[in-house]
Amino acid sequence: MDHDAHAWLFVRGEESIRITTGPARTLLIFGPGEARQSCDFTDAAALTHFLESYQQRLLDDGWILGIIAERRRPDRQAPPERERRATERRTQKSE
């Protein structure tokens, strides 16, 4: 699992919890509401174990996994096909 590339959004009614990874094996949890939590791990295996058990607890408590998103890092470029389509859409809007 590439923790640098993903974010998870769990929803339950009007509430949401967003989980992302930060630098140096840090897990960031936002929500529900104004709650914020940061968990640091000594290695990737510990982070993966915690993340999987935390997500399972959310599911057991009635949360629904709404989105798993790949986060874009500035050093990565869009695949050529995706970039071509985005350029076409921008061109069409400006005409």
Q: What percent of the chain has pLDDT over 70?
A: 67
Return the domain boundaries, the chain: 3-94
Confidence at residue 87, expressed as pLDDT on a 0 to 100 scale: 53
Average pLDDT over residues 4-22: 88
Q: Can you tell me the mean pLDDT for 7-35?
A: 92
Per-residue confidence (pLDDT) for residue 75, from 0 to 100: 46
Q: Is 3-94 a domain of CATH 2.30.30?
A: no
Dihedral sign computed on CA atoms, order 85, 4, 62, 52: positive
Check residues 52 and 89 and name the one with the higher pLDDT: 52
* Spatial distance between the Cα atoms of 37 and 2, rounded to a whole number of angstroms: 21
Q: In the predicted model, what is the mean pLDDT of the chain?
A: 79
Pick from 2, 62, 3, 60: which is nearest to 28 by CA?
3
Name the percent of the chain lying above pLDDT 90. 55
Q: What is the pTM of this model?
A: 0.66
**pLDDT, tens only, 28-72:** 999 999 999 999 999 989 999 999 999 999 999 999 999 888 655
